[in-house]
């Protein structure tokens, strides 16, 4: 199962690179973007993690008048914890999305949908007091656990262009047991 997820991640990366290759040879204008924003955990995931941040970059390839293919790579980071544990989770995301630009005159709205491969690294550190009966002492015990996962996720979102080069987006990520909402601003060039 893990090899299938890694294969899906590699295929997403190949699609991103293929999109870049096609656009480099065509007459259509290739757009790049870079952005950053907030990462909001949803559902059960919000019980463990706090608000985090994300940075992303990628390429937009116009396919048709109102349709683009968007390929990108991103880094999402969340922390969490209580008085007795500390959680740090990072995701590297490789994504391929379709983008539909609404044919409106004054406001430039768009919808995004696609798939992403989420390479997750999580570290949980727990601290708790431990009473040593034979020495009558209380010591602080620390346990740490690290895990790496690869998950395929569904990405659905919408955005609005702000001026000629900026856009604001909201993207819902359905990924295994860690659903997220990312809110961000990107610069297109």
Q: Which CATH number does the domain 2-188 belong to among 3.40.50.11540, 2.30.130.40, 2.40.160.20, 2.40.30.20?
A: 2.40.160.20
Per-residue confidence (pLDDT) for residue 177, from 0 to 100 = 80
Contacts of 131 (CB under 8 A, 6+ apart): 137, 138
Three-state SS at 81: strand
Q: Which two tokens stand for residue 110?
A: 């768009």
Burial string for 54-91 (b: 16+ CB within 10 Å, else e) reads bebebbbbbeeeeebbbbbbbebebebbeeeebbbbeb
Each residue's pLDDT, cut to its tens digit, for the chain (189 residues) gives: 566 666 566 655 656 555 555 544 455 688 999 999 999 999 888 888 999 999 999 999 999 889 999 999 999 999 998 877 889 999 999 999 999 999 888 889 999 999 999 999 999 998 876 666 656 666 667 788 999 999 999 999 999 999 989 999 999 999 988 899 999 999 999
**Domain boundaries defined on the chain:** 2-188
User: d(Cα 72, Cα 66) in Å, to the nearest integer?
Assistant: 19
Q: Which two tokens stand for residue 122?
A: 């999580």
Backbone angles phi, psi at 103, to 5 degrees: -80, 65
């Amino acid at each position: 199962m893990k090899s299938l997820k890694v294969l899906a991640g590699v295929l997403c990366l190949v699609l991103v690179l293929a999109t870049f290759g096609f656009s480099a040879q065509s007459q259509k204008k290739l757009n790049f973007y870079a952005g950053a924003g907030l990462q909001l955990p949803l559902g059960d995931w919000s019980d463990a993690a706090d608000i985090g941040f994300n940075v992303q970059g990628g390429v937009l390839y116009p396919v048709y008048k109102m349709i683009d293919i968007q390929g990108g790579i991103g880094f999402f980071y969340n922390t969490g914890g209580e008085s007795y544990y500390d959680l740090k989770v990072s995701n590297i995301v490789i994504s391929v999305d379709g983008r539909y630009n609404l044919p409106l005159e004054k406001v430039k709205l768009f919808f995004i949908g696609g798939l992403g491969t989420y390479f997750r690294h999580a570290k949980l550190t727990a601290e708790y007091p431990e009473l040593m009966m034979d020495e009558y002492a209380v010591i602080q015990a620390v346990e740490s656990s690290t895990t790496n996962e690869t998950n395929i996720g569904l990405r659905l979102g919408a955005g609005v262009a702000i001026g000629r080069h900026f856009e604001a987006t909201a993207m819902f990520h359905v990924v295994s047991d860690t659903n997220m909402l990312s809110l961000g601003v990107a610069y297109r060039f």
